Amino acid sequence: MNESGLKYLVIGAGAIGGITAAFLRKKGVDVEIVCKYEDYAAMISQQGINVSGECGVFRIKIPAYAHISQVTEKKDIIILATKATDVMEVAPALSQVLNDSGYIISLLNGICEDEIAKVTGKDRVIGCVTGWGATMESRGNLIMTSRGDFILGYPWKKADEMLNGLAETLSCVVPVVVTDNIVGHKYSKLIINSCITSLGAICGLYLGKMLRIRKARRIFIEIIREAVRVAESINLKIEVFDGKLDFKKLVSAKGLFSDFRRHLLLLIIGYKYRKLKSSGLQSLERGKQTEIDFLNGYIVGKAAIKGVDVPVNTFIVSMIHQIEKKEREIIIKNFDDPFFNRFGS
Protein backbone atom coordinates (compact mmCIF):
# COMPACT_ATOMS: atom_id res chain seq x y z
CA MET A 1 0.00 0.00 0.00
CA ASN A 2 1.34 3.44 -0.96
CA GLU A 3 1.32 5.66 2.14
CA SER A 4 0.62 8.80 0.10
CA GLY A 5 -2.98 9.43 -0.85
CA LEU A 6 -4.42 7.17 1.83
CA LYS A 7 -7.93 7.83 3.10
CA TYR A 8 -8.14 8.21 6.90
CA LEU A 9 -11.04 8.00 9.32
CA VAL A 10 -10.71 9.09 12.97
CA ILE A 11 -13.34 7.57 15.26
CA GLY A 12 -13.72 9.75 18.34
CA ALA A 13 -13.77 13.55 18.39
CA GLY A 14 -12.58 14.09 21.94
CA ALA A 15 -9.40 16.00 22.68
CA ILE A 16 -6.90 13.44 21.32
CA GLY A 17 -8.95 12.29 18.33
CA GLY A 18 -10.06 15.79 17.40
CA ILE A 19 -6.58 17.30 17.53
CA THR A 20 -5.12 14.37 15.60
CA ALA A 21 -7.75 14.72 12.87
CA ALA A 22 -7.28 18.50 12.76
CA PHE A 23 -3.53 18.23 12.21
CA LEU A 24 -3.96 15.55 9.55
CA ARG A 25 -6.49 17.74 7.73
CA LYS A 26 -4.18 20.76 8.04
CA LYS A 27 -1.38 18.68 6.47
CA GLY A 28 -3.63 17.93 3.50
CA VAL A 29 -4.43 14.32 4.42
CA ASP A 30 -7.79 12.96 3.23
CA VAL A 31 -9.38 12.53 6.67
CA GLU A 32 -12.90 12.38 8.06
CA ILE A 33 -14.11 11.99 11.64
CA VAL A 34 -16.89 10.20 13.52
CA CYS A 35 -18.02 12.06 16.62
CA LYS A 36 -21.14 10.25 17.93
CA TYR A 37 -23.54 13.26 18.00
CA GLU A 38 -25.39 14.79 15.03
CA ASP A 39 -25.11 18.39 16.25
CA TYR A 40 -21.39 18.05 16.98
CA ALA A 41 -20.80 16.48 13.56
CA ALA A 42 -22.57 19.42 11.93
CA MET A 43 -20.47 21.87 13.94
CA ILE A 44 -17.18 20.22 12.94
CA SER A 45 -18.19 20.05 9.27
CA GLN A 46 -19.56 23.58 9.02
CA GLN A 47 -17.63 25.63 11.60
CA GLY A 48 -14.58 23.47 12.23
CA ILE A 49 -12.49 22.46 15.22
CA ASN A 50 -10.55 25.15 17.06
CA VAL A 51 -7.17 23.87 18.28
CA SER A 52 -4.96 25.75 20.74
CA GLY A 53 -2.36 25.25 23.45
CA GLU A 54 1.14 23.83 23.09
CA CYS A 55 0.68 23.34 19.34
CA GLY A 56 -0.33 26.90 18.46
CA VAL A 57 -3.78 28.10 17.41
CA PHE A 58 -5.79 27.26 14.30
CA ARG A 59 -9.30 26.33 13.20
CA ILE A 60 -10.10 23.80 10.49
CA LYS A 61 -13.22 22.16 9.06
CA ILE A 62 -13.31 18.36 8.82
CA PRO A 63 -16.02 16.23 7.17
CA ALA A 64 -17.77 14.64 10.16
CA TYR A 65 -20.38 11.98 10.86
CA ALA A 66 -22.38 11.01 13.91
CA HIS A 67 -22.09 7.28 13.25
CA ILE A 68 -19.81 4.92 11.32
CA SER A 69 -22.79 3.73 9.24
CA GLN A 70 -22.96 7.21 7.67
CA VAL A 71 -19.44 6.93 6.20
CA THR A 72 -19.89 6.52 2.45
CA GLU A 73 -16.54 5.13 1.30
CA LYS A 74 -14.05 2.65 2.65
CA LYS A 75 -10.90 3.89 4.35
CA ASP A 76 -7.28 2.80 4.24
CA ILE A 77 -6.49 3.84 7.81
CA ILE A 78 -8.91 4.00 10.74
CA ILE A 79 -7.67 5.67 13.92
CA LEU A 80 -9.58 4.62 17.04
CA ALA A 81 -9.60 7.45 19.58
CA THR A 82 -12.66 6.54 21.66
CA LYS A 83 -12.86 5.36 25.25
CA ALA A 84 -11.80 1.74 25.64
CA THR A 85 -15.32 1.03 26.91
CA ASP A 86 -16.67 1.84 23.43
CA VAL A 87 -14.44 -0.65 21.62
CA MET A 88 -16.98 -3.49 21.64
CA GLU A 89 -19.66 -1.17 20.24
CA VAL A 90 -17.38 0.15 17.50
CA ALA A 91 -15.48 -3.01 16.55
CA PRO A 92 -18.21 -4.86 14.56
CA ALA A 93 -18.64 -1.87 12.23
CA LEU A 94 -14.93 -1.49 11.45
CA SER A 95 -14.86 -4.17 8.76
CA GLN A 96 -17.66 -2.37 6.91
CA VAL A 97 -15.60 0.80 6.35
CA LEU A 98 -12.05 -0.60 6.21
CA ASN A 99 -10.45 -1.42 2.87
CA ASP A 100 -9.34 -5.03 2.38
CA SER A 101 -5.71 -3.93 2.72
CA GLY A 102 -6.39 -1.27 5.38
CA TYR A 103 -5.17 -0.90 8.96
CA ILE A 104 -6.64 0.02 12.33
CA ILE A 105 -4.52 2.24 14.61
CA SER A 106 -5.62 1.96 18.24
CA LEU A 107 -5.02 5.02 20.44
CA LEU A 108 -7.17 3.46 23.17
CA ASN A 109 -6.15 3.27 26.80
CA GLY A 110 -5.45 -0.26 27.98
CA ILE A 111 -4.60 -3.10 25.61
CA CYS A 112 -7.55 -3.61 23.28
CA GLU A 113 -5.71 -4.89 20.21
CA ASP A 114 -6.83 -8.49 20.81
CA GLU A 115 -10.49 -7.44 20.65
CA ILE A 116 -9.95 -5.41 17.48
CA ALA A 117 -8.07 -8.30 15.84
CA LYS A 118 -11.12 -10.54 16.30
CA VAL A 119 -12.85 -8.38 13.70
CA THR A 120 -10.02 -7.35 11.38
CA GLY A 121 -7.36 -10.03 11.82
CA LYS A 122 -4.01 -9.58 13.57
CA ASP A 123 -2.03 -8.37 10.56
CA ARG A 124 -4.19 -5.25 10.23
CA VAL A 125 -3.90 -3.91 13.78
CA ILE A 126 -1.43 -1.23 14.89
CA GLY A 127 -1.00 -0.21 18.50
CA CYS A 128 -0.25 3.35 19.52
CA VAL A 129 0.64 4.99 22.83
CA THR A 130 -0.30 8.65 23.20
CA GLY A 131 2.41 10.45 25.13
CA TRP A 132 0.93 13.95 24.98
CA GLY A 133 -1.91 15.61 26.82
CA ALA A 134 -5.07 17.34 25.66
CA THR A 135 -8.43 18.44 26.97
CA MET A 136 -11.76 19.51 25.53
CA GLU A 137 -12.56 22.97 26.88
CA SER A 138 -15.93 22.83 25.16
CA ARG A 139 -17.34 21.23 22.03
CA GLY A 140 -15.10 22.16 19.12
CA ASN A 141 -12.51 23.86 21.37
CA LEU A 142 -9.60 21.49 21.98
CA ILE A 143 -6.42 22.32 23.88
CA MET A 144 -3.09 20.49 23.65
CA THR A 145 -1.97 20.74 27.27
CA SER A 146 1.45 19.09 26.95
CA ARG A 147 3.85 18.05 24.22
CA GLY A 148 5.07 14.49 23.79
CA ASP A 149 5.00 11.78 21.16
CA PHE A 150 3.17 8.87 19.61
CA ILE A 151 4.71 5.39 19.97
CA LEU A 152 3.64 3.20 17.07
CA GLY A 153 4.05 -0.53 16.45
CA TYR A 154 2.54 -3.80 15.30
CA PRO A 155 1.55 -6.06 18.25
CA TRP A 156 2.39 -9.27 16.37
CA LYS A 157 5.11 -8.43 13.86
CA LYS A 158 8.09 -6.17 13.31
CA ALA A 159 7.97 -2.69 11.82
CA ASP A 160 8.01 -2.35 8.04
CA GLU A 161 7.95 0.38 5.39
CA MET A 162 4.19 0.77 5.74
CA LEU A 163 4.48 1.49 9.45
CA ASN A 164 7.33 3.93 8.88
CA GLY A 165 5.22 5.73 6.29
CA LEU A 166 2.30 6.04 8.72
CA ALA A 167 4.71 7.32 11.37
CA GLU A 168 5.88 10.04 8.98
CA THR A 169 2.28 11.10 8.32
CA LEU A 170 1.34 11.18 12.03
CA SER A 171 4.44 13.22 12.81
CA CYS A 172 2.46 16.27 11.71
CA VAL A 173 0.77 16.00 15.13
CA VAL A 174 3.74 15.16 17.39
CA PRO A 175 7.02 13.27 16.89
CA VAL A 176 6.48 9.53 16.32
CA VAL A 177 8.61 6.69 17.71
CA VAL A 178 8.39 3.32 15.92
CA THR A 179 8.85 0.23 18.09
CA ASP A 180 8.89 -3.56 17.80
CA ASN A 181 7.54 -3.85 21.37
CA ILE A 182 4.33 -1.81 21.30
CA VAL A 183 2.65 -4.18 23.77
CA GLY A 184 5.46 -3.50 26.27
CA HIS A 185 4.92 0.24 25.85
CA LYS A 186 1.15 -0.06 26.15
CA TYR A 187 1.49 -2.26 29.23
CA SER A 188 3.76 0.35 30.78
CA LYS A 189 1.11 3.04 30.29
CA LEU A 190 -1.55 0.58 31.47
CA ILE A 191 0.32 0.18 34.76
CA ILE A 192 0.47 3.91 35.47
CA ASN A 193 -3.21 4.29 34.52
CA SER A 194 -4.11 1.32 36.74
CA CYS A 195 -2.59 3.24 39.64
CA ILE A 196 -3.51 6.86 38.98
CA THR A 197 -6.84 6.49 37.19
CA SER A 198 -8.23 3.69 39.34
CA LEU A 199 -7.17 4.93 42.79
CA GLY A 200 -8.34 8.45 41.91
CA ALA A 201 -11.74 7.03 40.99
CA ILE A 202 -11.93 5.25 44.35
CA CYS A 203 -11.06 8.19 46.61
CA GLY A 204 -12.16 11.22 44.58
CA LEU A 205 -8.92 13.13 45.16
CA TYR A 206 -6.59 14.92 42.79
CA LEU A 207 -3.29 13.09 42.37
CA GLY A 208 -1.30 15.47 44.59
CA LYS A 209 -3.56 15.01 47.62
CA MET A 210 -3.89 11.27 47.05
CA LEU A 211 -0.16 10.62 46.95
CA ARG A 212 0.38 12.53 50.18
CA ILE A 213 -1.42 9.62 51.88
CA ARG A 214 1.09 6.90 52.79
CA LYS A 215 -1.49 4.11 52.54
CA ALA A 216 -2.43 5.23 49.01
CA ARG A 217 1.24 5.15 48.01
CA ARG A 218 1.63 1.64 49.41
CA ILE A 219 -1.43 0.46 47.44
CA PHE A 220 -0.01 2.21 44.36
CA ILE A 221 3.26 0.29 44.73
CA GLU A 222 1.47 -3.03 45.20
CA ILE A 223 -0.57 -2.52 42.00
CA ILE A 224 2.74 -2.14 40.18
CA ARG A 225 4.30 -5.17 41.90
CA GLU A 226 1.40 -7.40 40.87
CA ALA A 227 1.46 -6.04 37.30
CA VAL A 228 5.19 -6.79 37.04
CA ARG A 229 4.63 -10.39 38.20
CA VAL A 230 1.96 -10.83 35.53
CA ALA A 231 4.27 -9.43 32.82
CA GLU A 232 6.98 -11.89 33.88
CA SER A 233 4.50 -14.76 33.67
CA ILE A 234 3.67 -13.94 30.04
CA ASN A 235 7.28 -13.09 29.08
CA LEU A 236 6.42 -9.48 28.35
CA LYS A 237 9.19 -6.88 28.50
CA ILE A 238 7.78 -3.77 30.18
CA GLU A 239 9.21 -0.66 28.57
CA VAL A 240 10.39 2.22 30.75
CA PHE A 241 7.48 4.64 31.11
CA ASP A 242 8.11 8.09 29.65
CA GLY A 243 11.79 7.17 29.36
CA LYS A 244 12.16 7.53 33.15
CA LEU A 245 10.06 5.14 35.21
CA ASP A 246 11.32 1.53 35.26
CA PHE A 247 8.56 -0.37 37.03
CA LYS A 248 10.54 -3.58 37.46
CA LYS A 249 13.45 -1.80 39.12
CA LEU A 250 11.07 0.28 41.20
CA VAL A 251 9.49 -2.70 42.95
CA SER A 252 12.36 -5.21 42.92
CA ALA A 253 14.80 -3.30 45.16
CA LYS A 254 14.82 -4.50 48.78
CA GLY A 255 15.43 -2.74 52.08
CA LEU A 256 14.31 0.34 53.98
CA PHE A 257 16.27 2.76 51.83
CA SER A 258 14.73 1.36 48.64
CA ASP A 259 11.29 1.69 50.20
CA PHE A 260 12.07 5.29 51.14
CA ARG A 261 13.13 6.02 47.56
CA ARG A 262 9.89 4.52 46.18
CA HIS A 263 7.76 6.71 48.41
CA LEU A 264 9.87 9.78 47.67
CA LEU A 265 9.47 9.20 43.93
CA LEU A 266 5.68 8.99 44.29
CA LEU A 267 5.64 12.16 46.37
CA ILE A 268 7.59 13.93 43.63
CA ILE A 269 5.20 12.62 40.96
CA GLY A 270 2.26 13.72 43.10
CA TYR A 271 3.67 17.22 43.47
CA LYS A 272 4.53 17.57 39.79
CA TYR A 273 1.07 16.42 38.67
CA ARG A 274 -0.82 17.59 41.76
CA LYS A 275 -3.75 18.98 39.77
CA LEU A 276 -4.23 15.82 37.71
CA LYS A 277 -7.77 14.48 38.01
CA SER A 278 -8.39 10.82 37.34
CA SER A 279 -10.11 10.20 34.00
CA GLY A 280 -11.98 7.37 35.70
CA LEU A 281 -13.25 9.80 38.32
CA GLN A 282 -14.35 12.20 35.58
CA SER A 283 -16.27 9.38 33.87
CA LEU A 284 -18.02 8.46 37.12
CA GLU A 285 -18.95 12.08 37.78
CA ARG A 286 -20.57 12.19 34.33
CA GLY A 287 -22.52 9.02 35.10
CA LYS A 288 -20.47 6.91 32.68
CA GLN A 289 -18.59 3.64 33.04
CA THR A 290 -14.85 3.68 33.70
CA GLU A 291 -12.18 1.85 31.69
CA ILE A 292 -11.36 -0.38 34.69
CA ASP A 293 -11.87 -3.65 32.79
CA PHE A 294 -9.21 -2.57 30.27
CA LEU A 295 -6.75 -1.41 32.95
CA ASN A 296 -6.58 -3.32 36.25
CA GLY A 297 -9.04 -5.75 34.69
CA TYR A 298 -6.52 -6.61 31.97
CA ILE A 299 -3.93 -7.42 34.65
CA VAL A 300 -6.47 -9.59 36.47
CA GLY A 301 -7.46 -11.40 33.27
CA LYS A 302 -3.89 -12.28 32.29
CA ALA A 303 -3.15 -13.29 35.89
CA ALA A 304 -6.06 -15.72 35.90
CA ILE A 305 -4.78 -17.43 32.73
CA LYS A 306 -1.30 -17.87 34.25
CA GLY A 307 -2.40 -18.62 37.80
CA VAL A 308 -0.77 -15.49 39.25
CA ASP A 309 -2.22 -14.08 42.47
CA VAL A 310 -3.18 -10.40 42.09
CA PRO A 311 -5.50 -9.66 45.04
CA VAL A 312 -5.09 -5.87 45.06
CA ASN A 313 -5.90 -5.38 41.40
CA THR A 314 -8.80 -7.84 41.73
CA PHE A 315 -10.25 -5.95 44.69
CA ILE A 316 -9.87 -2.57 42.97
CA VAL A 317 -11.78 -3.85 39.93
CA SER A 318 -14.55 -5.07 42.23
CA MET A 319 -14.65 -1.81 44.21
CA ILE A 320 -14.95 0.37 41.11
CA HIS A 321 -17.69 -1.83 39.71
CA GLN A 322 -19.54 -1.25 43.00
CA ILE A 323 -19.10 2.51 42.55
CA GLU A 324 -20.38 2.27 38.97
CA LYS A 325 -23.49 0.47 40.26
CA LYS A 326 -24.01 3.13 42.99
CA GLU A 327 -23.41 0.47 45.65
CA ARG A 328 -20.44 2.41 47.04
CA GLU A 329 -19.60 6.11 47.26
CA ILE A 330 -16.51 7.83 45.90
CA ILE A 331 -14.86 8.78 49.19
CA ILE A 332 -11.41 8.77 50.77
CA LYS A 333 -12.72 6.33 53.40
CA ASN A 334 -12.67 3.62 50.74
CA PHE A 335 -9.00 3.30 51.66
CA ASP A 336 -10.20 2.25 55.14
CA ASP A 337 -11.89 -0.87 53.76
CA PRO A 338 -10.70 -3.90 55.79
CA PHE A 339 -9.09 -5.32 52.65
CA PHE A 340 -6.55 -2.48 52.73
CA ASN A 341 -5.61 -3.01 56.41
CA ARG A 342 -2.35 -4.65 55.34
CA PHE A 343 -1.18 -1.28 54.06
CA GLY A 344 -1.41 0.43 57.45
CA SER A 345 -3.55 3.29 58.66
In this prediction, residues 310-334 reach a mean pLDDT of: 97
Tell which residue, 164, 169, 223, has the closest CA to residue 194: 223
Please spell the DSSP secondary structure of 151-206, one letter per residue: EEE-SSS---HHHHHHHHHHTTTS-EEE-S-HHHHHHHHHHHHHHHHHHHHHH---
Express each pLDDT in 182-212 by its tens digit.
Answer: 999 999 999 999 999 999 999 999 999 999 9
In this prediction, residues 141-164 reach a mean pLDDT of: 94
Taking all residues of the chain, what is their mean pLDDT, rounded to a whole number?
93
Express each pLDDT in 57-80 by its tens digit.
Answer: 999 999 999 999 999 899 999 999
- Say how far apart CA 79 and CA 85 lie, in whole Å: 16
Q: What local confidence, expressed as pLDDT, does residue 4 receive?
A: 59
pLDDT > 70 in the chain, percent: 99
Express each pLDDT in 44-60 by its tens digit.
Answer: 999 999 999 998 999 99
Cα-Cα-Cα-Cα dihedral of 110, 183, 216, 280, to 10°?
-10
- The distance from CA 90 to its chain's CA centroid, rounded to whole angstroms, is 16
pLDDT band for 3, please (50, 70, 90 cuts): low
In this prediction, residues 99-128 reach a mean pLDDT of: 92
pLDDT at 36 over 80: yes
- Say how far apart CA 256 and CA 111 lie, in whole Å: 34
Q: What local confidence, expressed as pLDDT, does residue 244 receive?
A: 86
In this prediction, residues 31-50 reach a mean pLDDT of: 95
Q: What local confidence, expressed as pLDDT, does residue 256 receive?
A: 87
What the chain holds in terms of domains, given with CATH numbers, is: 7-179 (3.40.50.720), 184-343 (1.10.1040.10)
